[in-house]
Amino acid sequence: MRLQRSRVGIILSYALLTTLALLFFIPVMMMLAGSLKPDERVLMEAGSLAGFIPGEVSLQNYTDVFNRTEFLGFLFNSLFITGTIVIFGLLVNALAAYAFARLRWRGRDLFFNLVLAVMILPLEAIAVPLFYGVSLLGLRDTYLAQILPFIANAFSIYLFYAFFIGLPRELEEAARLDGASTLRTFFSIIVPNSKPVFASVAILNFLMWWGAYLWPLMVTIGPEVRPLPVAIAAFYTLPPLQWGDILAFSVMMVAPVLLLFILFQRWFVRGVAATGIKG
Amino acid sequence: MSPPARLDDHTPVVLLIAGPALIGLLVFVLVPFLFALLTAFTNLRLGSPLPLEFVGLKQFTRILSDPTFVRAMGNNFLFALIIVPLQTALALGLALLLNQGLRGTVIYRTLFFMPVVFPMSLVAVVWILIYAPGPNGMMNSLLDLLSFGQWQPRDFLRDPALALPAIMLLSIWQGTGFQMVILLAGLQAIPQELHEAAALDGAGHWQRFLHVTLPQLRNPLTFVMLITTILAFRLFDQVQIMTRGGPDNATTTVMYEMVETVFTRQQVARASAMTVIFFLLVLGVTWLQRHLVRETREVE
């Protein structure tokens, strides 16, 4: 039996959803339309309906971005930093979680409590000492300082652990009896059966590091290893202020992720919903 | 933790497979945090001629009597106080609307979730344009339209009364989708039979919401409120990009003051003490949430 719904209720729901969706979409429309307009019209028309219609389409702003900034360099930096953190993070944190969920070793409970304790420390709580450490070692303005400290991640370990502990033990028993090593069992049995959690952890970490601002702002100095989030803020302060260029930068910055999001939407939604199990 | 299946000791192989992550957490999280915890009680300052000394709580009393820092903490609390109920209510409303099995749900969900994949620094820069001063600014024109011409154009980000609310609005825009998805998953986990049983007992929509949906949703709701509160205490990107803490400290935050202390004053000890204060705030919120969740579990 499905609960009855009134027709008025349905119409009202659609009206509300559509109004809210339009409000949510306004900034995106403005970004897109403005990026295609001559610069002087962006600010002038932002307050009218014309703000959402490009009118004469021009790609001038996009060419400006390439002329005025090292956009491709920043894009590479962001992809390289985020990609490395995500890929090494998956490997290292999943293996650690497997050791907690399935193996017997000295100090296991102690270390598990350490993981749980460290989980409530956001980056902001270690940014200051980490910054002085990086400065002391002369590692400011490097990829290393933006990658290495963030590969091990307590929350990722926790998410993997929660998933592995729920896998039936029989899966591994057969492999074990055949004499497969621990590592081999992990890669040939556990990994193929844990795709959802790998996807969730990858997406959550990707979103977090792709958008990270505080840490790269602190450790980068010049534009060489600067990622996109810091680059767009720097571009905004680079005179002359040209809104068309800034919006073109924004569109190019968000387009690849938006495409990924639309293609793998189900996984994004699942990944985010998975954080809720922590509660 | 359940007991392992076998009694044999895996310690050697564990060093290899769990070692990298555990060393990483020790070296890059725990040790730096302990370092901050220790230095917060000293007078450490880069390039200072004074000898390193243990100064007790002096850094803390100094910070907590600094009007700018007190204002920063106040701003964080105000931000949390307004944004947590507002954003949770909006996310819950959207989740309820999307959970009715209406056609086109996926499209709406996509639209509401989309800002989540926008980096906050990009959102901040784009919203500076939305808040442009003068009658041509988008927010000014929108408010003019909604008030039938009564609205006087304002310079949102330079107005001490409007700057923080302006930042709140874009934070809600960017963050609501995240909460919505978690609550939607929570709603979908509620057994349909509960609603049907309540309906058979003559409960209307509102009563079912109060007596079935809300109690069943208690854990995801507390979780969503926890992460939103912590987000409010972490507030930095928008402030650094849009207002630099101004005007007149109207938008400064604990994080903003901390980073300023690192870069403009080189005061390691003072910045460390701010880190500790930030940590205590987060710890307090987390403790409160664990407490609330545990209570429900006991009741169940």
Long-range CB contacts for residues A233-238, cutoff 8 Å, separation at least 24: A233/B121, A233/B124, A233/B125, A233/B240, A233/B241, A235/A68, A235/A69, A236/B125, A236/B128, A236/B241, A238/A68, A238/A69
**pTM to 2 decimals?**
0.90
Residue A168 and residue A130 share a domain: yes
pLDDT of residue A3: 53
Low-confidence residues in chain B, pLDDT < 50? 1-7, 298-300
Q: Which residue in chain A is spatially nearest to B280 when comparing CA positions? A: A125
The domain tally of chain A equals 2
Alpha helices in A153-194 (DSSP H): 154-164, 170-177, 182-185
Co-location of A45 and A86 in the same domain? no
Instruction: Show residues of chain B in contact with A95, CB under 8 Å.
Output: 17-18, 20-21
Residue A227 and residue A90 share a domain: yes
CB–CB of A257 and B117 under 8 A? yes
Q: Say whether B250 sits in a helix, a strand or coil.
A: coil
State how far residue A104 is from chain B, nearest Cα, in angstroms: 6
Q: What is the pLDDT along chain A (279 residues), one digit of tens a residue?
A: 345 567 888 889 899 999 999 889 989 988 988 888 887 777 777 667 766 776 778 888 899 899 899 999 999 999 999 999 999 999 999 999 999 998 888 889 999 999 998 988 889 999 999 999 999 899 999 999 999 999 999 999 999 999 999 888 888 888 878 877 888 889 988 999 999 899 989 998 999 999 999 999 999 999 999 999 999 999 999 888 889 999 999 999 999 899 988 888 888 887 777 776 543
Give the minimum alpha-carbon distance from B150 to chain A in angstroms, rounded to a whole number. Answer: 16
- State how far Cα A234 lies from the chain centre: 21
Q: How far is B24 from chain A (nearest CA, A)?
A: 5
Instruction: Determine the pLDDT at residue B294.
Output: 62
Residues A17 and A71 in one domain: no
Q: Which residues span the domain enclosing A47?
A: 7-58
- B125/A232 touch (CB, cutoff 8 Å), yes or no: yes
Task: Give Cα separations from B300 to B197, B216, B219 (angstroms).
Answer: 19, 11, 12
CATH of residue B184's domain is: 1.10.3720.10
Cβ of B10 and A105 within 8 Å? yes
- Residue B138 included in any domain: yes
* Cβ distance of B36 and A232 shorter than 8 Å: no
Taking one residue from A and the other from B, the number of pairs with CB-CB distance under 8 angstroms is 299
- What SS3 class is residue B133? coil
CA distance B124 to chain A (A): 9
Which pLDDT score is estimated for B8? 62
At A276 the pLDDT is 66
Does residue B30 lie within any of the structural domains?
Answer: no
Instruction: Quickly list DSSP for B5-21.
Output: S--S--HHHHHHHTHHH
Query: A99 and A81 in one domain?
Result: yes
Q: Note whether residue B192 is domain-resident.
A: yes
Asked whether residue A19 falls in the same domain as residue A46, the answer is yes
**Total structural domains within chain B:** 1
User: Could you tell me the residue range of the domain that residue B131 belongs to?
Assistant: 57-299
Return the pLDDT at B2.
47
